[in-house]
Chains A and B, each alone.
Chain A
Amino acid sequence: MKALDLIGELTAESQNLPEVLAPVLSPEGVVAVINQHPYKFHLELDTSGWFVIRPVSSEKAEVSREAYPYEILKYLGGLPRLYCIVCRRLGNMSWLVYPFNMGDARQRFGHMEFPRAMHLVTQNIEPLQPVETRVMGSTLLFGQIGNLYRSDDNLSGSLGGGMKPDDIKFPFPEIKTVYCILYEEMEERRKREFAEKQKAKLKTLEGRIEDAVSYLGAKLVSFQERGEDLVVRWRDGRRTQQVTVTRDLRLVTAGVCLSGRERQQSLTSAVAVMRDHERMDRDW
């Protein structure tokens, strides 16, 4: 058959494309297979999900209705299955997943990188849970919650408790990889939150005083304004200490003789000075 004739035939076929079920990940490019041909349609839609679409031309389509569950199951049944472990949520209906058996995934889907996104998740899932996904080209679609292994509550608890991966005995390596990904993300998030908290703390006078006092392990009891200066009280071990500092936390008086070097000390070093003083006093 000549190419031009075939183009004519295919053009005619594309004018009368039937309704078809399609997974809509992004309305910009919805891929649907009609008469064994892959078509990429543009949809006027602002959500993702499973829809039955009606092609208007070979480029555009309209949403006919939402797909029924049995239609989705039938569609997914024709796609190759890949068991995965859930990592974390990426978006509204997308989660990051990692293969349950990496060797098998490499062999069957060598062109894909992992971990990767799983789309159109319609059930409630949690990190470290097994799921059954279906592979459409390079896209992973959610099938159902898997039953390959028991979703291990201990691991979720360990993760919540911040247990290091090295301290846990994992049943298989892939779940360790997922745990490590989640643990690292959690650690990073924790560090980021701590840094933010610290930054916010240093913006207030009380925060700055507390930060200076707690640097050497003491605990702030109270502080009072006295004229231009501040009287700061902290507890260090059993004893409560008190010094007077300026508003930029330079020492004014510590109540002990510092040979006129008070101005060289800050509130942080005052904690150390008072601690030394107390020890010397005790030793004496």
Chain B
Amino acid sequence: MTTQTQELSVKKKLLQSLLRCPHRDLAQTIPIFSQAMEEDPLFAGKCCYALTLQEFNKIRDLGEAGISFLLTSQFPEHRIAGRILFQDLEPYRAARAANFVRRGLKPNRQAKSAVTRFIRTLEGDQRRFDGAVRVARKPIHQMYVAYHIKPSGRAQTIVFLKKTPEGEIDIDKLLREAGTPEDQARIISEHRVPYRKATSALKKMTPAVWVALIDVMSPVEAVNARAAVERSGVLEDKRIRALYEDKLAQAKDSERVTAIHLVERKSARGSDERLEAIVQETRQDKVEKGGRITAKTLFLIDRSGSMHTAIELAKRLCPMAAASCDDEMAVYCFNDTAVKLEYSDNTLKEFERAFRMIKSGGQTSIGIGLQKAIRDGFIPEQVIIVTDQGENSRPYLSDEYLKLIQQGEETRFIFVTVPSPMFGPTDKVVKELESKGAEVVDYRLDTDMNTSAWYVDMENVVPLLTKGGYIEIVERIMELELPA
């Protein structure tokens, strides 16, 4: 293997890691990031920085991993950038990153001083400190212990002795001892008790309590609580409805709410039409902000035998890609024949309707999809293919590509490869296309759709699709300046 291809493979692996949410188990990221830091520290450092940017990555766990690797890098530029980025983290995320550095990586003086500085800044802001301890006492406690940081007197009382400093109000006690739910509601709203904390201390849910909860919810919590709010029936009251709708509309400006999150999370789903309109508007806004596809794009969806996963994935990907696409876009489903998918708008509902009669079955000929599109007069600049690459029927994609070249047209292929239930992971088609000189990108999405939070893995697929090929993404990452 040549040095150039080796280098590319490390970069590919790093980019591939964007499509896998570690779900708190940051240790999963160690092998690939350690290798990248050794083989190509310049790119790896910038890639770690890119992980903290919404433009490239929407999975928070990966952002924490990126900062952790920067903090423990052997290069001072990385460590400085890591320190700066670490200070900007929310306390619970800082605690996660610090604990990952301590347990999974080799903590150095820079890491310790970054954590100490973070803790001192946090201790200095009494309100922020109290809020952080309320929702993440244990991780913050671990930070003090793991890095041998001496707590301030107030922190010692709150974090270690689990008491309220003298002269201050013990809100937990107040909540516990409140006589009626209405009293609890007043305390929650007055003292801005975090939603997660408040829900664990409630005696009974009354309309007043719901008002207090909606008041203290963050926009992302408002999105996540939609099913519960609808079920409670409090939306029948116009005043409470207005309050909740306001809160839900704030999700548009929240970085933590993502387009996929809005529609996939079970607790964020509901049937209220007005709320659905707000959610769809937010989703549209998120998709539009998430980057644009500027090329004429052809989506090819594998509907051959046991490709149910590809169809389900396409149902989610297509509406987002369609909303982000400035040029023409067409969707074709193929097995041993190809059929054009007709849709009237870019909503998830419309694509669900369009995919309703698309079922998996038959052999796989990716080439037939491209052939049919060209026959229909659609010559794409890029082709996005959701498949397992198990091509076993003519016409083959590589042959169709050669025909396209002979016509004087050039196109780029982006594969979203799902695992084949029968043959496991394969890159047969990608290799064939590469051997014919085509520009190919292969993103592997080996997520298990039966797990509850599988959709998180999809968060970064569309942002990557909007950035074109590997070369473009690598160039964009290389253009980034590390914070100094």
Contacts and interface: CB of A to CB of B under 8 A. Distances in A.
Interface of A: 1, 3-4, 6-7, 9-11, 14, 33, 35-40, 57-59, 137
A216 to B, nearest CB: 54
Most buried by B among A10, A14, A40, A59: A10
Given A3-B243, A7-B211, A58-B206, 9 more contacts: A1-B243, A10-B206, A10-B208, A11-B186, A14-B208, A37-B207, A37-B234, A59-B180, A59-B206
Contact of A33 (B180, B205, B233): B233
A230 to B, nearest CB: 65
Most buried by A among B205, B206, B240, B243: B206
B212 to A, nearest CB: 6
B302 interface: no
Given A14-B208, A59-B181, A6 B239 contact: yes
Contacts of A9: 239
Interface in B146-191: 180-182, 185-186, 189-190
Given A37-B233, A38-B232, A39-B206, A6 B182 contact: no
Nearest to A39: B206
Nearest to B183: A11
B113 to A, nearest CB: 41
Interface of B: 180-182, 185-186, 189-190, 204-208, 211-212, 214-215, 231-234, 236-237, 239-240, 242-243
Contacts of A38: 207, 232-234
A11 B189 contact: no
Contacts of B189: 3-4, 7
Contact of B185 (A1, A7, A35, A36): A7
7 contacts: A1-B243, A7-B185, A9-B239, A11-B185, A14-B182, A37-B237, A38-B234
B233 A59 contact: no
Contacts of A37: 206-207, 233-234, 236-237
A58 B180 contact: yes
Chain A binding surface SS class: mixed
B233 A3 contact: no
Nearest to A57: B180
A187 to B, nearest CB: 35
Contacts of B182: 7, 10-11, 14, 58
A6 B240 contact: yes
B233 to A, nearest CB: 4
A260 B240 CA distance: 95
A36 B211 contact: no
A4 B239 CA distance: 12
Nearest to B205: A40
B211 A3 contact: yes
A7 B233 contact: no
A11 B186 CA distance: 10
B177 to A, nearest CB: 16
B180 A36 contact: no
A7 B237 CA distance: 13
A9 B180 CA distance: 15
B266 to A, nearest CB: 11
A40 B203 CA distance: 12
Contacts of B190: 4
Contacts of A57: 180
A37 B212 CA distance: 15
A2 to B, nearest CB: 9
A284 B462 CA distance: 93
B240 A14 contact: no
A11 B232 contact: no
A47 to B, nearest CB: 23
Contacts of A10: 182, 206-208, 211
A3 B206 contact: no
A36 B234 CA distance: 8
Nearest to A37: B207
A33 B236 CA distance: 10
A4 B182 CA distance: 11
A36 B206 contact: no
Contacts of B215: 3
A251 to B, nearest CB: 63
A136 B207 CA distance: 19
Contacts of A59: 180-181, 204, 206
A109 to B, nearest CB: 11
B211 A6 contact: yes
A10 B206 CA distance: 9
A164 B206 CA distance: 51
A113 to B, nearest CB: 16
Contacts of B242: 1
A3 B189 CA distance: 7
